[in-house]
Structure 1
Amino acid sequence: MDQAVSSSALGAVSAVGLSPVQLFLHASIVVKLVMIGLVACSIFVWAVIVEKILLIRRINHEAASFEDLFWSGGSLDDLYETEGARPVHPLAAVFGAAMGEWRRSSRIEGIDMVRGGTQERIDRAINITIAREEDRLSRYVTMLATIGPVAPFVGLFGTVWGIMHAFGSIAAMHNTNLSVVAPGISEALFATAIGLITAIPAYVAYNLITRSLDNFSERMQAFGTEFAAILSRQSEERKAGKN
């Protein structure tokens, strides 16, 4: 008799199915909403990951090409006209901001009377540009930091609701057979799985992308410091020439 009941229960479970589509279709409306929300977050996470990977590769390649031009010994004015006036990548933007400020300051009469005035403006222009580029490059990255910790708890909410739904089915049918309990438990565990599938890539990608962007930020800072020193030496040479 027990064996017959078990066979019947297993047959009912098989009829429902354990495929992701079947688990979604037979889930309660609340668990369906949780699943849809987590899948949407997962798509967003992977879109950000792909976009940032391509972005980081591109800006590093562009930075390397620009540094080759910068240190080739060519005219800074010519480089400004070709790269700095309308920058298309972060390092060129830093160069353009500093060079533009230096050129504007050099036109001001009596600028040499204000000690350190030119250098302060150049440093400020570099720092503001670097901060603006960092904000632009890190756009949407903070969302990964939010989705990573939150997604498992959203999945857990779906799990709890699915288990409640399973117990509700038991109470309504006055039956504890596997055919009654299994669908609710399965959809509950499936919600947890989606939460983890969403959270793990978000958490790992956030750490890797943040580290890569921090490295590039340090690269911009180093270039800005070196270029500011070059402009400072040129300013001192101009002052010495006038004296």
Structure 2
Amino acid sequence: MNPAAQHDLSPLALFLQADPIVKGVMLLLALASVACWGIIIEKIAATRRLRAEARRLASAVAGGTTPEGGLAAEVVAAGAREWHEGRDADESRGEYRERMERAMRAPLTTALRAAEPGLPLLATIGAVGPFIGLFGTVWGIMNSFSGIAASGDTSLAVVAPGIAEALFATAIGLVAAIPSVMAYNRFTTGFARIRQAAQASIAELAAGMSRRPAPGRSLRAAE
């Protein structure tokens, strides 16, 4: 019988036959991969929700309607509170508009910050995952060479299983790291675009509100 046939090189067998340290590396990377996909699924939902709120805010600005519920309604309500307070006597229209924008940006910033946890972990997995896998590979190859030196047998049948186990650690590291890097870049770009779109709507809304006198309060200062 061919000695190579005696070795099972399936992923499960490679894990079970690996050195304890290499097994630990594989388990760590597998957990990192699971965490990565959990974050990705959660961020997909968060991105869709925030993008929908940004569209609702833009529609409210364009149509002059007040959204009901959600982040868009919170943003409009925050600006409306400042508008109802009116413009102070020593306040220019630009300062008045900036005050309303600042009030409306507060709930937007809070919502975006609430959606950001998990992104640093994606960046960390993407950065260190390949190196952790490489550590497992180097350790596994060192063990293989030690076994070769002890047995004195340099045939491929003896060398291949140990090297395969070692390289499997690098493969798991790449499986964890590649989606993490891609997801991190996608979500950070997506959140930045949502922020820009919402802030543009806020600026337009504040500019329109600043040109209208607040109800129940007269303008006490000329520009």
- Where does structure 2 lack aligned partners over 5 or more consecutive residues? none
Q: 1:94 to 1:214 in 2, by over 3 A?
A: same
> What is the aligned-residue RMSD (CA, Å)?
2.6
- Structure of larger gyration radius: 1
Displacement after TM superposition at 1:241 (Å): 9.3
Residues matched between the structures, number: 219
Does structure 1 residue 180 correspond to structure 2 residue 180?
no
Displacement after TM superposition at 1:22 (Å): 0.2
- Taking the aligned partners of 2:13 and 2:32, their CA distance within structure 1 comes to 21
| Higher RCO, Cα 8 Å, sep 6+ | 2
- Taking the aligned partners of 1:121 and 1:93, their CA distance within structure 2 comes to 16
Q: What is the one-letter code of the residue matched to 1:186?
A: A
Q: 1:38 to 1:242 in 2, by over 3 A?
A: closer
Q: What is the one-letter code of the residue matched to 2:133?
A: G
Does structure 1 residue 112 correspond to structure 2 residue 88?
yes
Does structure 1 residue 98 correspond to structure 2 residue 74?
no
Does structure 1 residue 16 correspond to structure 2 residue 10?
no
Contact 1:161 1:188 in 2 (8 A): yes
Displacement after TM superposition at 1:120 (Å): 4.0
Q: Deviations over 1:102-127 (max 9, x none)?
A: 33x33xxxx53231464343232233
**Percent identical:** 40
- Taking the aligned partners of 1:73 and 1:218, their CA distance within structure 2 comes to 20
- Where does structure 1 lack aligned partners over 5 or more consecutive residues? 1-6
Q: 1:120 to 1:114 in 2, by over 3 A?
A: farther
Could you tell which deviates more after superposition, 207-216 or 54-63?
A: 54-63
Q: Deviations over 1:96-148 (max 9, x none)?
A: 32223333x33xxxx53231464343232233333322212222122212211
- Taking the aligned partners of 2:47 and 2:80, their CA distance within structure 1 comes to 25
Aligned to 2:26: 35
SS at match of 2:63: coil
- Taking the aligned partners of 1:23 and 1:172, their CA distance within structure 2 comes to 21
Displacement after TM superposition at 1:8 (Å): 4.1
Displacement after TM superposition at 1:64 (Å): 2.6
Q: 1:220 aligned to 157, 177, 198, which one?
A: 198
The structure in which a higher percent of residues are helix is: 1
- Taking the aligned partners of 2:36 and 2:14, their CA distance within structure 1 comes to 23
Q: 1:102 to 1:15 in 2, by over 3 A?
A: farther
Aligned to 1:3: none
- Taking the aligned partners of 1:142 and 1:102, their CA distance within structure 2 comes to 38
After superposition, where does 1:81-92 map in structure 2 within 5 Å? 82-83=68-69, 88-89=70-71, 91-92=72-73
Contact 1:94 1:220 in 2 (8 A): no
Displacement after TM superposition at 1:9 (Å): 2.8
